[in-house]
Amino acid sequence: MLGYSANELKSMGIADITHPDDVKLSFNQLRNLKEGTKDRVTFEKRFVRKNGSLLHGRLSATANRDARGALTSTVSIVEDITATKKAEARLAEHQDELVHAQRIATLGELVSGIAHELNQPLTAIENFASGSIRRLREPQADLGLINDTLAKVVNQTRRASEVIRHLRDLSRSGASHFAPVDVNRIVKGAVELIAMGARPGEYDIALQLSPSMPDVMADAIQIEQVILNLVRNAGDAMASMPVSDRRDIVSSATNGAHVIVSVIDHGCGVHRDHADKLFDSFFTTKHDGIGMGLSICRWIMENHDGRIWHTANPNGGTTFRVELVRADLERGPTATAGS
Ligand code: ADP
């Protein structure tokens, strides 16, 4: 099985035929037989063949004992499960490739949308500006009309620079740096940033953070960007309400293997016809909106093997939730963003 002769094996120990990372496991399992805590053990380990290649084996060992219970010999059977293990690894790799391809597709869709979205204001700016030049050359130039047209140029320029601002946010999300992070700290940082930008009394953000939160494996800047976006949107949803009624809650909690951050607002709510479109690139209902915020949030959450979704509150308003996997249970992001 391993390529050694019976004679060669006689002079070899467990460590000589075992992958270094599995030596401790092998000794621990066999100690159970020696010390009498178990009469039979079954475990999987990697053997090293004489030619250096690996053999994945399922080893079952049974103890033979004398009348006093002392170990006299062990009988071991090794089943070669290398082919099964290789098939499992191939499947996992294939699944990772699929997830990666899906992320690239989402990013590609976003980027081609951005190109389209930038092209529109640029074309408009060109038309308005050349129209104004033509009018200025006329002997009786209508300065009022030219003034209006130039105001439109300014508007379109603002729109283009807003798209570029989002693009910069996105490129900041490009190279991911995953590390165990405390979600509560990220939430507090994001809310502080918002509070610094808000005018006094503009709205009230209450924090309901669970005191004992496990770390999540995440890119802190990207997750902060998600929270910032959700809290800003919550503020926008309450913009038409009296200042005294504007309040939202950011809460954190653990739910099994996951950590969940919720942003709960008491704003206008999501129209039934729009509920499925919110995360689409460039979907917006705001007159000055771009519609990239939530699609970037969705992309970031996919990059974290996490989720983002929204539900209507029973008493009005909307709750957006983001779900991340606890760092102690995380098997690691399957692909690096932008790679
Ligand atoms: P933008 O803020 O530029 O419109 P987003 O992608 O962040 O882009 O949001 C898309 C749309 O989702 C918004 O225009 C709005 O209609 C809806 N939306 C997002 N958050 C909320 C919320 N908290 N309450 C109601 N509607 C929301």
Task: List pLDDT tens digits, range 314-338.
Answer: 989 999 999 999 998 765 444 333 3
Ligand 1 mutation pick, 117, 205, 233, max ligand atoms within 8 A of CB? 233
Strands (E), 158-312: 179-181, 204-209, 216-218, 247-255, 258-265, 307-312
Q: What number does CATH give the domain 6-80?
A: 3.30.450.20
Which pLDDT score, from 0 to 100, does residue 335 have?
38
Which pLDDT score, from 0 to 100, does residue 53 have?
94
Q: What SS3 class is residue 337?
A: coil
Which pLDDT score, from 0 to 100, does residue 290 have?
81
Fold of 88-175: Helix Hairpins (1.10.287)
Which pLDDT score, from 0 to 100, does residue 334 have?
44
Q: What is the largest CA-CA distance in the chain?
A: 120
Strands 258-265 and 204-209: unpaired
336 alpha carbon, distance to own chain's centre:
10
**CATH fold match for the domains 88-175 and 176-339:** no
Q: How far apart are CA 304 and CA 183, in angstroms?
A: 13
Cα-based distances in Å from 196 to 18, 190, 191, 242: 59, 10, 9, 21
CATH pick for 176-339 out of 3.40.50.10190, 3.40.50.620, 3.30.565.10, 1.10.1040.10: 3.30.565.10
What separation in Å is there between the alpha carbon of 285 and the centre of ligand 1? 7
The residues spanned by each domain of the chain are 6-80, 88-175, 176-339
Cα-based distances in Å from 43 to 25, 52, 64, 275, 299: 9, 22, 18, 50, 40
Alpha helices in 36-142 (DSSP H): 82-137
Cα-based distances in Å from 183 to 148, 213, 220, 254: 48, 8, 8, 11
Write out the two tokens for 41.
Answer: 């053990």
Are 252 and 183 in contact by the 8 Å Cβ rule? The answer is: yes
Ligand 1 mutation pick, 109, 277, 278, max ligand atoms within 8 A of CB? 278
Which pLDDT score, from 0 to 100, does residue 41 have?
95
- Strands, sheet with 247-255, edge to edge from the N-terminal-most edge strand: 204-209, 247-255, 258-265, 318-325, 307-312
Which mean pLDDT values do the consecutive 10-residue runs of the chain (339 residues) have? 91 94 94 92 95 95 91 92 89 74 69 77 91 93 93 89 75 72 93 72 83 91 88 90 85 94 95 93 85 88 93 95 89 42
pLDDT digits (tens, 9 = 90+) for 140-180: 999 999 999 999 999 889 888 877 877 776 666 556 778 99
Residue nearest (by alpha carbon) to ligand 1 atom 17: 278
What separation in Å is there between the alpha carbon of 133 and the centre of ligand 1? 38
Which pLDDT score, from 0 to 100, does residue 331 have?
54
Which pLDDT score, from 0 to 100, does residue 336 have?
39
Which residue is listed with tokens 């997830």?
A: 99
The ligand 1 site (C-beta within 6 Å) comprises: 229, 233-234, 237, 265, 267-270, 274, 278, 283-286, 289-295, 318
Give the number of the atom of ligand 1 that is nearest the alpha carbon of residue 267. 24
Are 149 and 128 in contact by the 8 Å Cβ rule? The answer is: yes
CB atoms within 10 A of CB 257: 13
Helix or strand holding residue 40 (H, E) = strand 40-48
